[in-house]
């Protein structure tokens, strides 16, 4: 039957959400297009993106049992591990790179 709980990268989630928005596609069409098993997943990612921004797609954590996998606050509070901090910083860098690419004029 395969892996029921597939983990998707932040880049993939971003691609899915952007495609969904650009094509005015619904959750079923998007799930079929990207071969995502759970047809509600693209809609959940889109809601996270609209509510919390692109960084939320990159810093999503599952199975923590606390806080629903919210990214750490930006006020400098502590991280549990260096890996968490690195993941948070990488997501922030990816977000800034995407933002810079969007605001640069086309050549």
Contact (Cβ atoms closer than 8 angstroms) between residue 38 and residue 31: yes
| Mean pLDDT calculated for residue range 64-88 | 61
DSSP 8-state secondary structure symbol assigned to residue 38: S
Angle formed by the axes of helices 27-34 and 10-22, to 10°? Answer: 130
Q: What is the pLDDT of residue 67?
A: 46
53-73: per-residue pLDDT in tens?
888 888 756 554 444 444 545
> What does pTM read for this prediction?
0.55
Concatenated DSSP letters of 61-94? --S--SGGGPPPPTT----SSHHHHHHHHHHHHH
């Amino acid at each position: 039957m395969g892996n029921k709980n597939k983990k998707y990268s932040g880049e993939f989630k971003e691609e899915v959400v952007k495609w969904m928005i650009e094509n005015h596609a619904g959750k079923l069409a998007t799930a079929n297009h990207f071969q995502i098993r759970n047809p509600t997943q693209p809609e959940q990612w889109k809601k996270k993106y609209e509510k919390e921004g692109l960084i939320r797609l990159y810093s999503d954590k599952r199975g923590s049992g606390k806080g629903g996998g919210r990214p750490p606050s930006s006020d400098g509070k502590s991280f549990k591990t260096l890996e968490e901090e690195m993941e948070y910083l990488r997501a922030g860098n990816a977000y800034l790179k995407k933002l810079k690419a969007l605001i640069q004029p086309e050549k």
